[in-house]
Amino acid sequence: MRYVRAPLTLPSLIAVAGLLLACGGVGPIKPDPQPEPPVVPSPQAEGPPKSAKQKTIERLLAEADAALKKDRMTQPAHDNAYDRFRAVQMLDPGNKQAQAGLNSILLAYADRIQRGLSAGLISAAAAELKVAKAAFPNAELLATYEAEIKKRTPAPQKSDSGVKKEEGRGKVVLPAQALAQKSEEAKQLLIEIAQRVQQSDEAVMIYARSDAEGRWIYKTMKDSVGEYRIRGDIRISREPAIEFLSPLE
């Protein structure tokens, strides 16, 4: 049998293609999808780098706050809150945090002075005023206390110890730096307190930063009143002070 090759015409090609599609032939080939590019997070916006001056100010303020927490307001020299706040003001005169810190120191001294005056212990108040005026010579608040202390200070010719005997009790904050140095100023204040106790027969609670400091305070007071026995106790505290208690039975 002979087969006759029929010529391929356009209609016949279209018919063949339709037949292949109807029979499930291979469909059109789609290109593989391109992988999506990885998402790169945009860098967070950062402020400009801090200058050396700004870093110094922040360090000084942190050191000043730490000194305040340890009650190092103006002492010891070169290691206190006052000096660091003033250093910040030299670098940045309008720094509000430094000014607020200095104001808090001034108010703390004013509170100590007032407590001394309220307890009738003029020497204690005068000692705190002396330290405060060295740091704040032009403070109007201190001028008011200075006038009050001068008014209540006994005349030199009198033998009065300067301690005013009162019915009420009180607590006297001792000048920390003078106490640490065992200066004549601290001794005179303790003698004054001891003479009040001898007159009123009050007991005392001695607050000291160490047991050795407390014993020195008690001995200084006791030696100033001869055979009189000062009764009381010693407690450890960050703030050296003497609290007057009711006479013991």
Q: What is the DSSP string of the chain?
A: -PPPPPPP-HHHHHHHHHHHHHTT---PPPPPPPPPPPPPPPPPP-PPPPPHHHHHHHHHHHHHHHHHHTT-SS-STTSSHHHHHHHHHHH-TT-HHHHHHHHHHHHHHHHHHHHHHHTTBHHHHHHHHHHHHHH-TT-HHHHHHHHHHHHHSPPTT----SBPP-SS--EEE--HHHHHHT-HHHHHHHHHHHHHHHHHT-EEEEEESSHHHHHHHHHHHHHTTTT----EEEEE-SS-EEEEEPPP-
- Measured in degrees and rounded to the nearest 5, phi and psi for residue 236 equal -85, 130
Q: Does 227 have pLDDT greater than 90?
A: no
Q: Calculate mean pLDDT across residues 62-90.
A: 90
Q: Looking at residue 196, what is its pLDDT?
A: 87
Q: Which domains does the chain have, with CATH numbers?
A: 53-153 (1.25.40), 165-249 (3.30.1330)
Q: Calculate mean pLDDT across residues 213-240.
A: 89
Q: Looking at residue 18, what is its pLDDT?
A: 54
**Alpha-carbon span 44 to 67, nearest angstrom:** 36
Q: How confident is the model at residue 53 (pLDDT cuts 50, 70, 90)?
A: confident
pLDDT tens sequence across 153-200: 766 544 333 444 344 468 888 888 888 888 888 888 898 898 888 888
Q: Calculate mean pLDDT across residues 80-99.
A: 93
**Alpha-carbon span 83 to 103, nearest angstrom:** 13
